[in-house]
Structure 1
Amino acid sequence: MSREPRFPGATSISRLEAYSDAAPDGLAGGTPHLHTVSSEAYLVVAGAGTLQTVDASGFAEHTLGPGALVWFEPGVIHRAVNRGGLDVRVIMANAGLPEAGDAVMTFPDDVLADAKAYLAAASLPGADRPTAERRAAAAARRDLAVRGFLDLFDDGVPDDAHLNHERLDRLYSRALALVAAKASDWRTLWQHGALAEANATGVRLDALESGRDPGLAAARVTAVRPEPASLGMCGVLDRYDLAGPDPAGRDRLDPARDPRHSEGPR
Protein backbone atom coordinates (compact mmCIF):
# COMPACT_ATOMS: atom_id res chain seq x y z
CA MET A 1 0.00 0.00 0.00
CA SER A 2 1.48 3.36 -1.01
CA ARG A 3 1.76 6.18 1.47
CA GLU A 4 3.39 9.59 1.77
CA PRO A 5 7.12 9.07 2.37
CA ARG A 6 8.61 10.16 5.68
CA PHE A 7 12.00 10.09 7.27
CA PRO A 8 12.33 7.10 9.63
CA GLY A 9 10.27 7.63 12.75
CA ALA A 10 8.78 10.82 11.26
CA THR A 11 11.88 12.81 12.15
CA SER A 12 13.21 15.74 10.14
CA ILE A 13 16.73 16.73 9.20
CA SER A 14 18.26 20.08 8.25
CA ARG A 15 21.69 21.42 7.51
CA LEU A 16 22.48 24.36 9.80
CA GLU A 17 25.23 26.88 9.14
CA ALA A 18 25.28 28.78 12.44
CA TYR A 19 25.18 32.56 12.32
CA SER A 20 28.65 34.09 12.54
CA ASP A 21 27.74 37.61 13.67
CA ALA A 22 27.99 38.50 17.35
CA ALA A 23 25.09 38.90 19.76
CA PRO A 24 25.07 41.69 22.39
CA ASP A 25 27.23 39.61 24.75
CA GLY A 26 29.93 39.21 22.09
CA LEU A 27 29.19 35.57 21.24
CA ALA A 28 28.40 34.62 17.66
CA GLY A 29 25.64 32.14 16.93
CA GLY A 30 21.98 31.44 17.26
CA THR A 31 18.80 32.29 19.09
CA PRO A 32 18.26 30.68 22.50
CA HIS A 33 14.99 28.75 22.59
CA LEU A 34 13.27 25.65 23.87
CA HIS A 35 10.86 23.11 22.42
CA THR A 36 7.75 22.12 24.32
CA VAL A 37 7.10 18.70 22.75
CA SER A 38 9.94 17.65 20.46
CA SER A 39 13.44 16.34 21.20
CA GLU A 40 16.34 17.53 19.08
CA ALA A 41 19.90 16.45 18.25
CA TYR A 42 22.92 18.27 16.84
CA LEU A 43 25.41 16.24 14.82
CA VAL A 44 28.44 18.41 14.06
CA VAL A 45 30.13 17.87 10.69
CA ALA A 46 32.53 20.82 10.64
CA GLY A 47 33.74 23.83 12.55
CA ALA A 48 33.82 24.55 16.25
CA GLY A 49 31.47 25.89 18.86
CA THR A 50 29.62 25.22 22.06
CA LEU A 51 26.04 24.49 22.95
CA GLN A 52 24.86 26.39 26.01
CA THR A 53 21.96 24.67 27.76
CA VAL A 54 19.69 25.48 30.67
CA ASP A 55 17.26 23.13 32.37
CA ALA A 56 16.02 22.52 35.91
CA SER A 57 19.35 20.88 36.79
CA GLY A 58 21.30 24.02 35.88
CA PHE A 59 23.47 25.61 33.20
CA ALA A 60 25.99 23.69 31.08
CA GLU A 61 28.24 24.16 28.05
CA HIS A 62 28.85 21.31 25.60
CA THR A 63 31.78 21.34 23.17
CA LEU A 64 30.79 21.13 19.50
CA GLY A 65 33.36 19.77 17.06
CA PRO A 66 33.33 17.39 14.07
CA GLY A 67 31.66 14.12 15.05
CA ALA A 68 30.10 15.47 18.24
CA LEU A 69 26.48 14.53 18.92
CA VAL A 70 24.41 16.38 21.51
CA TRP A 71 20.81 15.38 22.16
CA PHE A 72 18.36 17.29 24.32
CA GLU A 73 14.78 16.81 25.44
CA PRO A 74 11.85 19.24 25.18
CA GLY A 75 12.14 21.91 27.83
CA VAL A 76 15.92 22.29 27.55
CA ILE A 77 16.84 25.86 26.60
CA HIS A 78 19.66 25.72 24.08
CA ARG A 79 21.88 28.25 22.36
CA ALA A 80 24.37 27.40 19.62
CA VAL A 81 27.59 29.42 19.88
CA ASN A 82 29.68 29.55 16.70
CA ARG A 83 33.42 29.67 17.31
CA GLY A 84 34.32 29.21 13.65
CA GLY A 85 32.56 27.57 10.67
CA LEU A 86 30.03 25.63 12.78
CA ASP A 87 28.15 23.30 10.42
CA VAL A 88 25.54 21.02 11.98
CA ARG A 89 22.95 18.47 10.96
CA VAL A 90 19.86 19.08 13.06
CA ILE A 91 17.64 16.05 13.70
CA MET A 92 14.20 16.81 15.09
CA ALA A 93 11.53 14.51 16.43
CA ASN A 94 7.92 14.91 15.34
CA ALA A 95 8.44 16.42 11.90
CA GLY A 96 5.81 19.11 11.41
CA LEU A 97 5.49 20.12 15.06
CA PRO A 98 8.52 22.43 15.20
CA GLU A 99 7.26 24.11 12.01
CA ALA A 100 3.82 24.49 13.64
CA GLY A 101 5.14 26.40 16.63
CA ASP A 102 6.87 23.91 18.95
CA ALA A 103 9.57 26.39 19.90
CA VAL A 104 9.59 29.32 22.27
CA MET A 105 12.39 31.86 22.06
CA THR A 106 13.75 33.28 25.29
CA PHE A 107 12.59 36.85 24.81
CA PRO A 108 12.44 39.15 27.85
CA ASP A 109 9.54 38.42 30.18
CA ASP A 110 7.37 41.35 29.08
CA VAL A 111 7.43 40.01 25.51
CA LEU A 112 6.73 36.41 26.56
CA ALA A 113 3.77 37.60 28.63
CA ASP A 114 2.00 39.11 25.59
CA ALA A 115 1.14 36.72 22.74
CA LYS A 116 0.85 39.54 20.19
CA ALA A 117 4.16 41.04 21.26
CA TYR A 118 5.77 37.61 21.08
CA LEU A 119 4.51 36.97 17.55
CA ALA A 120 5.70 40.40 16.41
CA ALA A 121 9.15 39.80 17.89
CA ALA A 122 9.39 36.28 16.47
CA SER A 123 8.32 37.15 12.92
CA LEU A 124 10.67 37.77 10.02
CA PRO A 125 9.96 39.73 6.83
CA GLY A 126 8.63 37.61 3.99
CA ALA A 127 10.84 35.83 1.48
CA ASP A 128 10.02 38.58 -1.04
CA ARG A 129 11.94 41.14 1.01
CA PRO A 130 15.64 41.92 0.37
CA THR A 131 18.09 39.49 1.92
CA ALA A 132 19.84 42.22 3.90
CA GLU A 133 16.55 43.25 5.49
CA ARG A 134 15.75 39.66 6.43
CA ARG A 135 19.22 39.02 7.85
CA ALA A 136 18.98 42.18 9.95
CA ALA A 137 15.59 41.09 11.28
CA ALA A 138 16.94 37.61 12.13
CA ALA A 139 19.84 39.21 14.01
CA ALA A 140 17.49 41.54 15.91
CA ARG A 141 15.30 38.58 16.87
CA ARG A 142 18.35 36.64 18.04
CA ASP A 143 19.66 39.60 20.03
CA LEU A 144 16.33 40.06 21.81
CA ALA A 145 16.26 36.37 22.75
CA VAL A 146 19.84 36.59 24.03
CA ARG A 147 18.78 39.48 26.25
CA GLY A 148 16.04 37.33 27.74
CA PHE A 149 18.43 34.39 28.04
CA LEU A 150 20.90 36.49 30.04
CA ASP A 151 18.02 37.67 32.24
CA LEU A 152 17.77 34.08 33.53
CA PHE A 153 21.05 34.65 35.37
CA ASP A 154 21.71 37.00 38.26
CA ASP A 155 23.87 39.88 37.04
CA GLY A 156 23.56 38.45 33.50
CA VAL A 157 26.37 35.96 34.14
CA PRO A 158 25.61 32.64 32.37
CA ASP A 159 26.91 29.99 34.71
CA ASP A 160 25.36 27.48 37.08
CA ALA A 161 25.94 29.54 40.21
CA HIS A 162 24.06 32.55 38.82
CA LEU A 163 21.06 30.70 37.33
CA ASN A 164 17.86 32.13 38.82
CA HIS A 165 15.45 29.21 39.09
CA GLU A 166 12.49 31.46 39.84
CA ARG A 167 12.99 33.23 36.51
CA LEU A 168 13.43 29.88 34.77
CA ASP A 169 10.14 28.63 36.21
CA ARG A 170 8.44 31.81 35.03
CA LEU A 171 9.82 31.33 31.52
CA TYR A 172 8.42 27.78 31.45
CA SER A 173 5.02 29.12 32.53
CA ARG A 174 5.10 31.76 29.80
CA ALA A 175 6.05 29.14 27.21
CA LEU A 176 3.16 26.90 28.19
CA ALA A 177 0.71 29.79 27.99
CA LEU A 178 1.95 30.68 24.49
CA VAL A 179 1.54 27.18 23.02
CA ALA A 180 -1.25 25.48 24.99
CA ALA A 181 -3.99 26.37 22.51
CA LYS A 182 -2.07 24.65 19.70
CA ALA A 183 -1.97 21.23 21.35
CA SER A 184 -5.05 19.83 19.59
CA ASP A 185 -3.65 20.74 16.16
CA TRP A 186 -0.29 19.26 17.14
CA ARG A 187 -1.99 16.04 18.20
CA THR A 188 -3.33 15.65 14.66
CA LEU A 189 0.15 16.16 13.21
CA TRP A 190 1.58 13.64 15.66
CA GLN A 191 -1.14 11.08 14.88
CA HIS A 192 -0.40 11.32 11.16
CA GLY A 193 3.37 11.44 11.69
CA ALA A 194 5.34 9.83 14.50
CA LEU A 195 2.44 7.77 15.85
CA ALA A 196 1.49 6.53 12.37
CA GLU A 197 5.11 5.46 11.80
CA ALA A 198 5.21 3.59 15.10
CA ASN A 199 1.91 1.89 14.29
CA ALA A 200 3.20 0.91 10.84
CA THR A 201 6.09 -0.90 12.52
CA GLY A 202 3.58 -2.76 14.65
CA VAL A 203 1.67 -3.83 11.55
CA ARG A 204 4.89 -5.16 9.99
CA LEU A 205 5.73 -7.10 13.14
CA ASP A 206 2.21 -8.59 13.20
CA ALA A 207 2.67 -9.74 9.61
CA LEU A 208 6.09 -11.28 10.29
CA GLU A 209 4.83 -13.15 13.36
CA SER A 210 2.02 -14.66 11.29
CA GLY A 211 4.33 -15.55 8.40
CA ARG A 212 2.92 -12.93 6.03
CA ASP A 213 4.77 -10.45 3.80
CA PRO A 214 5.05 -7.19 5.76
CA GLY A 215 5.06 -5.23 2.51
CA LEU A 216 8.55 -5.85 1.18
CA ALA A 217 7.43 -5.93 -2.43
CA ALA A 218 5.77 -2.52 -2.08
CA ALA A 219 8.96 -0.80 -0.88
CA ARG A 220 10.12 2.22 -2.86
CA VAL A 221 12.94 4.77 -2.72
CA THR A 222 12.41 8.49 -2.16
CA ALA A 223 15.12 11.02 -2.99
CA VAL A 224 14.91 14.75 -2.29
CA ARG A 225 17.05 17.83 -2.68
CA PRO A 226 17.22 20.49 0.02
CA GLU A 227 14.81 23.38 -0.18
CA PRO A 228 16.17 26.86 -0.89
CA ALA A 229 18.03 28.17 2.15
CA SER A 230 15.94 29.89 4.80
CA LEU A 231 16.80 31.94 7.87
CA GLY A 232 16.26 29.92 11.01
CA MET A 233 16.66 30.76 14.66
CA CYS A 234 20.26 29.58 14.86
CA GLY A 235 21.54 30.06 11.33
CA VAL A 236 20.95 29.46 7.63
CA LEU A 237 18.96 26.26 7.10
CA ASP A 238 18.83 23.82 4.21
CA ARG A 239 15.82 21.63 4.96
CA TYR A 240 15.00 18.26 3.46
CA ASP A 241 11.24 18.21 3.30
CA LEU A 242 9.57 15.10 1.88
CA ALA A 243 6.24 16.93 1.84
CA GLY A 244 7.59 19.49 -0.61
CA PRO A 245 7.90 23.26 -0.34
CA ASP A 246 5.23 25.51 1.08
CA PRO A 247 2.92 26.24 -1.87
CA ALA A 248 2.70 29.90 -0.86
CA GLY A 249 6.46 30.23 -1.21
CA ARG A 250 7.01 31.26 2.41
CA ASP A 251 9.75 30.12 4.73
CA ARG A 252 8.28 27.09 6.46
CA LEU A 253 10.17 28.03 9.64
CA ASP A 254 8.96 31.62 9.71
CA PRO A 255 6.68 32.29 12.70
CA ALA A 256 4.77 34.88 10.71
CA ARG A 257 3.39 32.10 8.52
CA ASP A 258 0.17 32.03 10.50
CA PRO A 259 -1.00 32.94 14.03
CA ARG A 260 -0.41 29.39 15.25
CA HIS A 261 3.22 29.43 14.23
CA SER A 262 5.76 30.53 16.84
CA GLU A 263 8.86 28.84 15.50
CA GLY A 264 11.52 30.72 13.59
CA PRO A 265 14.11 27.76 13.50
CA ARG A 266 17.31 26.94 14.49
Structure 2
Amino acid sequence: MVSGGESGFAGLPGGVAVSRLCVYDWPAADGVRGGTPHLHLVCSEGYVVTGGRGAVQTLTASGYQVTPLAAGTVAWFTPGTVHRLVNEDDLRITVLMQNSGLPEAGDAVLTLPPRYLTDPETYASVTAIPADAPEAERERIARARRDLALEGYRALREATGPEPLAAFHRAAAALVRPRLADWRARWERGARAAAAATGEQLDRLERGDAGHLADAVVQAEQPYERGRYGMCGRLDVYRQGR
Protein backbone atom coordinates (compact mmCIF):
# COMPACT_ATOMS: atom_id res chain seq x y z
CA MET A 1 0.00 0.00 0.00
CA VAL A 2 1.13 3.54 -0.79
CA SER A 3 -0.34 6.06 1.62
CA GLY A 4 -1.55 9.39 0.35
CA GLY A 5 -2.18 11.28 3.56
CA GLU A 6 -3.64 10.06 6.84
CA SER A 7 -6.50 8.09 5.26
CA GLY A 8 -5.17 7.55 1.74
CA PHE A 9 -4.92 4.31 -0.24
CA ALA A 10 -3.12 4.61 -3.57
CA GLY A 11 -3.65 1.09 -4.90
CA LEU A 12 -6.15 0.25 -7.59
CA PRO A 13 -9.79 0.75 -6.53
CA GLY A 14 -10.87 -1.54 -3.73
CA GLY A 15 -7.44 -3.16 -3.47
CA VAL A 16 -7.87 -5.16 -6.68
CA ALA A 17 -5.22 -5.91 -9.30
CA VAL A 18 -5.27 -6.47 -13.06
CA SER A 19 -3.45 -8.58 -15.61
CA ARG A 20 -3.74 -8.70 -19.37
CA LEU A 21 -4.26 -12.27 -20.60
CA CYS A 22 -3.89 -13.96 -23.99
CA VAL A 23 -5.46 -17.39 -23.46
CA TYR A 24 -3.39 -20.40 -24.53
CA ASP A 25 -4.30 -21.83 -27.93
CA TRP A 26 -2.64 -25.18 -27.24
CA PRO A 27 -4.98 -28.09 -28.07
CA ALA A 28 -5.59 -30.59 -25.27
CA ALA A 29 -6.37 -34.30 -25.46
CA ASP A 30 -10.09 -33.51 -25.75
CA GLY A 31 -9.45 -31.27 -28.77
CA VAL A 32 -10.22 -28.09 -26.83
CA ARG A 33 -7.71 -25.23 -26.87
CA GLY A 34 -7.22 -23.33 -23.65
CA GLY A 35 -5.85 -23.01 -20.16
CA THR A 36 -5.33 -24.92 -16.96
CA PRO A 37 -8.34 -25.67 -14.74
CA HIS A 38 -7.94 -24.45 -11.16
CA LEU A 39 -9.73 -22.70 -8.31
CA HIS A 40 -9.08 -19.86 -5.88
CA LEU A 41 -9.77 -20.25 -2.17
CA VAL A 42 -10.33 -16.68 -0.90
CA CYS A 43 -10.50 -14.50 -4.02
CA SER A 44 -13.19 -13.69 -6.54
CA GLU A 45 -12.00 -13.09 -10.09
CA GLY A 46 -13.53 -11.18 -12.99
CA TYR A 47 -13.00 -11.25 -16.74
CA VAL A 48 -13.42 -8.26 -19.03
CA VAL A 49 -13.18 -9.70 -22.54
CA THR A 50 -11.32 -7.30 -24.81
CA GLY A 51 -11.07 -9.40 -27.97
CA GLY A 52 -11.65 -12.74 -29.61
CA ARG A 53 -14.09 -15.43 -28.63
CA GLY A 54 -14.21 -18.40 -26.28
CA ALA A 55 -15.79 -19.64 -23.08
CA VAL A 56 -15.12 -20.41 -19.45
CA GLN A 57 -16.05 -23.86 -18.19
CA THR A 58 -16.88 -23.87 -14.48
CA LEU A 59 -17.47 -26.61 -11.94
CA THR A 60 -18.97 -25.96 -8.50
CA ALA A 61 -21.00 -27.92 -5.98
CA SER A 62 -24.02 -26.80 -8.02
CA GLY A 63 -22.72 -28.50 -11.16
CA TYR A 64 -20.96 -27.90 -14.47
CA GLN A 65 -21.59 -24.78 -16.58
CA VAL A 66 -20.23 -23.16 -19.74
CA THR A 67 -20.30 -19.35 -20.05
CA PRO A 68 -19.64 -17.94 -23.56
CA LEU A 69 -17.09 -15.13 -23.76
CA ALA A 70 -16.91 -12.48 -26.49
CA ALA A 71 -15.61 -8.93 -26.73
CA GLY A 72 -17.52 -6.80 -24.23
CA THR A 73 -18.50 -9.66 -21.92
CA VAL A 74 -17.90 -9.20 -18.20
CA ALA A 75 -17.97 -12.47 -16.24
CA TRP A 76 -16.93 -13.23 -12.68
CA PHE A 77 -17.00 -16.02 -10.12
CA THR A 78 -16.45 -16.52 -6.41
CA PRO A 79 -13.93 -18.65 -4.45
CA GLY A 80 -14.29 -22.40 -4.92
CA THR A 81 -15.21 -22.18 -8.62
CA VAL A 82 -13.10 -24.56 -10.70
CA HIS A 83 -12.60 -22.75 -14.00
CA ARG A 84 -11.06 -23.57 -17.37
CA LEU A 85 -10.71 -20.95 -20.09
CA VAL A 86 -11.39 -22.10 -23.66
CA ASN A 87 -9.89 -20.22 -26.60
CA GLU A 88 -12.04 -20.46 -29.73
CA ASP A 89 -10.59 -17.48 -31.59
CA ASP A 90 -7.77 -15.32 -30.20
CA LEU A 91 -9.41 -14.83 -26.78
CA ARG A 92 -7.98 -11.85 -24.88
CA ILE A 93 -9.06 -10.77 -21.41
CA THR A 94 -8.31 -8.15 -18.79
CA VAL A 95 -8.43 -10.09 -15.51
CA LEU A 96 -9.59 -8.36 -12.32
CA MET A 97 -8.34 -10.05 -9.15
CA GLN A 98 -9.40 -9.57 -5.57
CA ASN A 99 -6.88 -8.92 -2.77
CA SER A 100 -4.15 -7.16 -4.74
CA GLY A 101 -3.55 -9.94 -7.22
CA LEU A 102 -3.47 -12.79 -4.72
CA PRO A 103 -4.75 -15.29 -7.33
CA GLU A 104 -1.42 -14.89 -9.15
CA ALA A 105 0.53 -14.81 -5.88
CA GLY A 106 -0.50 -18.16 -4.46
CA ASP A 107 -4.29 -18.34 -4.16
CA ALA A 108 -4.71 -20.98 -6.85
CA VAL A 109 -4.70 -24.77 -6.80
CA LEU A 110 -4.71 -26.73 -10.04
CA THR A 111 -7.05 -29.68 -10.42
CA LEU A 112 -4.23 -32.21 -10.41
CA PRO A 113 -4.92 -35.90 -9.74
CA PRO A 114 -5.03 -36.60 -5.98
CA ARG A 115 -1.55 -38.16 -5.91
CA TYR A 116 -0.05 -34.71 -6.57
CA LEU A 117 -2.09 -32.92 -3.89
CA THR A 118 -0.62 -34.67 -0.86
CA ASP A 119 1.83 -31.95 0.23
CA PRO A 120 3.25 -28.62 -1.03
CA GLU A 121 6.53 -30.16 -2.19
CA THR A 122 4.87 -32.79 -4.35
CA TYR A 123 2.51 -30.21 -5.78
CA ALA A 124 5.32 -27.76 -6.58
CA SER A 125 7.37 -30.47 -8.28
CA VAL A 126 4.91 -30.55 -11.20
CA THR A 127 3.58 -26.97 -11.19
CA ALA A 128 6.50 -24.58 -10.56
CA ILE A 129 7.98 -22.84 -13.62
CA PRO A 130 11.54 -21.57 -12.92
CA ALA A 131 11.79 -17.96 -14.01
CA ASP A 132 15.37 -18.47 -15.23
CA ALA A 133 14.60 -21.53 -17.34
CA PRO A 134 14.92 -21.26 -21.14
CA GLU A 135 11.76 -20.27 -23.00
CA ALA A 136 11.24 -23.73 -24.47
CA GLU A 137 11.50 -25.36 -21.05
CA ARG A 138 9.04 -22.92 -19.47
CA GLU A 139 6.55 -23.64 -22.24
CA ARG A 140 7.05 -27.40 -21.82
CA ILE A 141 6.31 -27.20 -18.08
CA ALA A 142 3.28 -24.97 -18.61
CA ARG A 143 1.82 -27.39 -21.16
CA ALA A 144 2.62 -30.46 -19.05
CA ARG A 145 0.99 -29.06 -15.91
CA ARG A 146 -2.05 -27.97 -17.97
CA ASP A 147 -2.48 -31.50 -19.29
CA LEU A 148 -1.99 -33.01 -15.83
CA ALA A 149 -4.61 -30.67 -14.37
CA LEU A 150 -7.01 -31.64 -17.15
CA GLU A 151 -6.62 -35.27 -16.08
CA GLY A 152 -7.84 -34.40 -12.60
CA TYR A 153 -10.49 -32.04 -13.97
CA ARG A 154 -12.02 -34.72 -16.17
CA ALA A 155 -12.25 -37.04 -13.17
CA LEU A 156 -14.06 -34.35 -11.17
CA ARG A 157 -16.50 -33.65 -14.01
CA GLU A 158 -17.28 -37.33 -14.52
CA ALA A 159 -17.62 -38.14 -10.81
CA THR A 160 -20.90 -39.24 -9.32
CA GLY A 161 -21.93 -37.45 -6.13
CA PRO A 162 -20.39 -34.50 -4.30
CA GLU A 163 -17.53 -36.23 -2.45
CA PRO A 164 -14.79 -36.09 -5.15
CA LEU A 165 -15.13 -32.30 -5.48
CA ALA A 166 -15.34 -31.92 -1.69
CA ALA A 167 -12.18 -34.01 -1.35
CA PHE A 168 -10.41 -31.72 -3.83
CA HIS A 169 -11.54 -28.70 -1.80
CA ARG A 170 -10.09 -30.24 1.37
CA ALA A 171 -6.80 -31.08 -0.33
CA ALA A 172 -6.54 -27.55 -1.76
CA ALA A 173 -7.15 -26.02 1.67
CA ALA A 174 -4.45 -28.20 3.23
CA LEU A 175 -1.95 -27.28 0.50
CA VAL A 176 -2.29 -23.52 1.05
CA ARG A 177 -2.45 -23.53 4.87
CA PRO A 178 1.29 -22.73 5.28
CA ARG A 179 0.82 -19.56 3.23
CA LEU A 180 -2.19 -18.10 4.99
CA ALA A 181 -0.22 -15.65 7.14
CA ASP A 182 1.26 -14.08 3.98
CA TRP A 183 -2.17 -13.94 2.38
CA ARG A 184 -3.63 -12.23 5.42
CA ALA A 185 -0.85 -9.61 5.34
CA ARG A 186 -1.59 -8.89 1.66
CA TRP A 187 -5.29 -8.53 2.43
CA GLU A 188 -4.56 -6.16 5.32
CA ARG A 189 -2.30 -3.97 3.12
CA GLY A 190 -4.78 -4.02 0.26
CA ALA A 191 -8.54 -4.57 0.39
CA ARG A 192 -8.84 -4.05 4.14
CA ALA A 193 -6.78 -0.85 4.04
CA ALA A 194 -8.81 0.43 1.08
CA ALA A 195 -12.09 -0.15 2.91
CA ALA A 196 -10.70 1.46 6.07
CA ALA A 197 -9.59 4.51 4.06
CA THR A 198 -13.12 4.97 2.75
CA GLY A 199 -14.49 4.78 6.28
CA GLU A 200 -12.03 7.40 7.47
CA GLN A 201 -12.93 9.68 4.56
CA LEU A 202 -16.64 9.35 5.34
CA ASP A 203 -15.92 10.24 8.96
CA ARG A 204 -14.02 13.33 7.85
CA LEU A 205 -16.77 14.47 5.53
CA GLU A 206 -19.34 14.07 8.31
CA ARG A 207 -17.18 16.44 10.37
CA GLY A 208 -17.03 18.87 7.45
CA ASP A 209 -13.37 18.08 6.85
CA ALA A 210 -12.42 17.79 3.17
CA GLY A 211 -8.67 17.90 3.81
CA HIS A 212 -8.01 14.46 2.32
CA LEU A 213 -9.01 15.78 -1.10
CA ALA A 214 -5.79 17.80 -1.18
CA ASP A 215 -3.84 14.52 -1.11
CA ALA A 216 -5.20 13.35 -4.48
CA VAL A 217 -2.72 11.51 -6.70
CA VAL A 218 -2.65 10.20 -10.27
CA GLN A 219 -0.60 7.15 -11.22
CA ALA A 220 -0.02 5.09 -14.35
CA GLU A 221 2.27 2.25 -15.29
CA GLN A 222 3.21 -0.21 -17.98
CA PRO A 223 3.47 -3.97 -17.34
CA TYR A 224 6.63 -4.91 -15.48
CA GLU A 225 6.59 -8.37 -17.08
CA ARG A 226 5.17 -9.38 -20.44
CA GLY A 227 4.30 -12.85 -21.65
CA ARG A 228 4.61 -14.70 -18.35
CA TYR A 229 3.39 -18.29 -18.51
CA GLY A 230 0.28 -18.20 -16.33
CA MET A 231 -2.34 -20.81 -15.58
CA CYS A 232 -4.72 -19.72 -18.34
CA GLY A 233 -2.38 -18.12 -20.86
CA ARG A 234 0.41 -15.61 -21.41
CA LEU A 235 0.19 -12.72 -18.95
CA ASP A 236 1.25 -9.09 -18.90
CA VAL A 237 1.44 -8.25 -15.20
CA TYR A 238 1.48 -4.97 -13.25
CA ARG A 239 2.94 -4.03 -9.88
CA GLN A 240 0.27 -1.58 -8.74
CA GLY A 241 -1.58 -2.76 -5.67
CA ARG A 242 0.54 -5.89 -5.16
User: What's the TM-score once normalised by structure 2's chain length?
Assistant: 0.93
- Shifted more, 228-237 versus 182-191: the winner is 182-191
Residue 119 of structure 2: aligned partner: 114
Unaligned 5+ segments in structure 2 are none
Distance 1:200 1:223 in 2: 21
8 Å contact 1:203–1:214 — kept in the other structure? no
Indicate the residue corresponding to 1:17 in structure 2. 22
Q: Given the alignment of the two structures, is residue 181 of structure 1 paired with residue 181 of structure 2, yes or no?
A: no
Letter in 1 for 2:34: G
Bigger relative contact order, structure 1 or 2 (CA pairs below 8 A, ≥6 apart): 2
CA distance in 2, matches of 1:84, 1:111: 32
Once residues 165 and 243 of structure 1 are traced to their aligned partners in structure 2, the CA distance between those partners, rounded to angstroms, is: 37
| 1:41-97 residue CA offsets vs partner (Å, 9 max, x unmatched) | 011111111100000100000001111111100000000000010000100010142
Q: Does residue 222 of structure 1 match 2:209?
A: no
| One-letter code aligned to 2:219 | T
Are the equivalent residues in 2 in contact too, given 1:48–1:83 (CA < 8 A)?
yes
Amino acid at match of 2:89: G
Asked if 1 retains the 8 angstrom alpha-carbon contact of 2:9 and 2:193, the reply is no
2: CA distance between counterparts of 1:18 and 1:207?
45
> Which of 129, 152, 156 pairs up with 1:152?
156
Does residue 206 in structure 1 map to residue 209 in structure 2? Answer: no
Give SS of 1:94's match: helix
Matched, 1:42 2:42: no
Structure 1 residues 150-173: Cα deviation after superposition (integer angstroms, max 9, x where no partner): 01133xxxxxxx664221111001
Q: 2:168 aligns with which of 171, 176, 179?
A: 171
Give the Cα separation in 1 of the matches to 2:204 and 2:167: 49
Residue 232 in structure 1 maps to residue 237 in structure 2? no
**Larger mean Cα displacement after TM superposition, 17-26 or 77-86:** 17-26
In 2, the alpha carbon distance for the partners of 1:153 and 1:209 equals 53
Aligned with residue 133 of structure 2, among 122, 129, 133? 129
Which of residues 85, 91, 99 is equivalent to 2:96? 91
Cα 1:52/1:214, change in 2 over 3 Å: farther
Residues 44, 66 of structure 1: 8 Å contact kept: yes
When residues 133 and 178 of structure 1 are mapped into structure 2, their CA distance, relative to the original with a 3 A threshold, is same
In structure 1, the gaps of 5 or more residues are 155-161, 245-266
Q: Which residue number in structure 2 is paired with residue 242 of structure 1?
A: 240
**Would the aligned equivalents of 1:53 and 1:60 in 2 still touch at CA under 8 Å?**
yes
The match for 1:263 is none
CA distance in 1 between partners of 2:160 and 2:58 (Å): 11
Which residue of the partner structure matches residue 28 of structure 1? 33
Partner amino acid, structure 2, of 1:146: L
Kept after mapping to 1: 8 A contact 2:12/2:241: no
Does the 8 A contact of 2:20 with 2:95 survive in 1? Answer: yes
Identity %: 45
Please say if residues 125 and 137 of structure 1, whose CA atoms lie closer than 8 Å, have aligned partners that are also in contact: no
